[in-house]
Amino acid sequence: MRVTFMARRKRHLKIYKKNTLPKKILFVFKFLGGFFLIVFLGCAAIFVYYIKDLPRPEDFLERKVFQSTKIYDRTGKVLLYTIHGEEKREVVPLEEISPFLQKAVIAAEDENFWHHHGVDFGGIIRSILVDLKLKKPIQGGSTITQQLIRSSFLGREKTIKRKIREVVLSLELEMKYPKEQILEWYLNQVPFGSNAYGAEAASQTFFKKPAKDLTLAEAATLAALIKAPSYLSPYGMHKDELLERKDYIIDRMLNLGFISAQEAKEAKNQKLKFAEVTEPIKAPHFVLYVKQQLLKKYGQDFLNENGLKVYTTLDWELQKKAEKIVAERVKINRNYNAYNAALVAINPKNGEILSMVGSADWFAEPYPKDCISGKTCLFDPKFNIAVGTKSNPGRQPGSAFKPFAYAAAFEKGFTPQMILWDVETEFNPNCDPSATQTKDKYGLKCYHPQNYDGKFRGPITAKSSLAQSINVTSVKVLYLAGVENTINLAKKLGITTLNKKPSEYGLSLVLGGGEVKLLDMVSAYGVFATEGLKVPPDKHTKN
């Protein structure tokens, strides 16, 4: 009997041990279940809190009226320009908007528009991966529906509350209305720049035609503007970037099957002709230069909505005189096949820009007719010669660069009284000075510059050489100072170009062999006027 009892007890112990593990697992599941339930209820409470008092999606067409930003001269009495003063808009049905524009906008802003339900989580992930790969924000994660909701109700504040409300309203809007209606609303509301809101106004503003008649190239260009309407404006300094984005969108349309390869090729080769700006503007090159600085500091939305009053350093009376002087000189210079000119005046003591004329006439037609801006035009009125662009940074300064070489030589220990020999000189030692060689035995160019009057003066002081702008002796001064030393000094004074290797410029640099910006040159000369005090020309506005 005793042996049997012990055997039974052992069996009970084994059963107990077998039942111990399932109870622990059950406890863990209960704990996790309770935890996730609390988290879920907490998130639900936060979600309900954030979406309370949401506006009705059907009310989204009621927009806030924004105040425009105004740019004045230094007195505050002359209005130079108004940023988005009046919204130009004409609402049209989707049928009256070019299918090319509809497809271009979808390709650029929301390729899965026809398939998602207001929020494209896959698109958000893809955009993040693309941006990380390219190391710059190329693609956005918001759908067209989200953009529509955001611009109508919520603004651009980057908070969890705003994002939740945006998602909820986007989902609700998609449940209430068909895709075609949402796309129509979006294309009639989105800003394209130059005060044009909606596809019809944009088409009329930039191409002087109805939106239904837009070509593929024109449609892709308008779609490109949506990303940064002011920065990419065809009338500003970043037209080349606009055209690059236009081609990018055409490639996207081709990859998505929206257009054929032949259509894409023809659209990329089409020469675009933008309509003239009709909005009032004074000192246009200066104003757009100021506008770019404001955009960097405040952003487009802030300028559009907050009614800033911007007082610049521009002296309107001096500006009118500057424009007159440029116009008169260009008429004379046409006799020498020169069609354009620019002028900048600054106060060297404080760096204030008093006048800026970026071309002979902003409102004139390009020359020759149908030329390509930035490539084949002998006269490009909208291009600001004074400041240039990233792809077209400046112009050769000619003899205006000579003072930098002399200053570098004086800094090195030479004096204004040193004697230089103004005689015919061959600076390539491998070329015969008495011959008329053009290249040496290594294929390098011979270099024997001439003076502007064809004469040689013999011994001359450095001071007289600079005063008379003598070419031969100036090249010798550059040789004594050193090309690299001269470039470094020029950069210290304010020249922002000349970023090639010194050997790529050579001794011709002193005669204008390197491209510089006019604004940089004027500012650098200002350092001479102040006897060494450098004040950059970037403080020309106050709010």
> Pairing state of beta strands 309-312 and 69-72?
parallel
Buried b (16+ CB within 10 A) or exposed e, 422-443: beeebbbeebeeeeebeebeee
Q: 10 Å Cβ neighbour count for 115?
A: 11
Reference 302, options 61, 62, 68, 539; nearest CA is 68
Choice among 87, 96, 241, 399 that is catalytic: 399
Length of the chain: 543
Alpha-carbon distance of 233 to 141, in angstroms, equals 23
Choice among 68, 98, 109, 323 that is catalytic: 109
Alpha-carbon distance of 434 to 152, in angstroms, equals 78
Alpha-carbon distance of 303 to 87, in angstroms, equals 14
For 145, residues 6+ apart whose C-beta sits below 8 A from its C-beta are 110, 118, 119, 170, 173, 174, 182, 186
CB 503 within 8 A of CB 510: no
Q: Which amino acid is at 532?
A: G
Q: Which amino acid is at 77?
A: K
109 a catalytic residue: yes
Reference 510, options 481, 542, 468, 533; nearest CA is 481
CA dihedral 377, 381, 385, 387 (to 10 degrees): -130
Three-class secondary structure of residue 344 per DSSP:
strand
Reference 244, options 262, 261, 225; nearest CA is 225
In angstroms, how far is the first alpha carbon of the chain from the final one?
A: 104
Buried b (16+ CB within 10 A) or exposed e, 257-289: ebbeeebbeebeeeebebeebeeebbbbbbbbb
399 a catalytic residue: yes
Reference 155, options 144, 164, 145, 166; nearest CA is 166
Kindly list the distances between the CA atom of residue 152 and the CA atoms of 145, 172, 188, 189, 381, in Å, as whole numbers in the listed order. Answer: 11, 15, 12, 9, 37
Catalytic residues: 109, 399
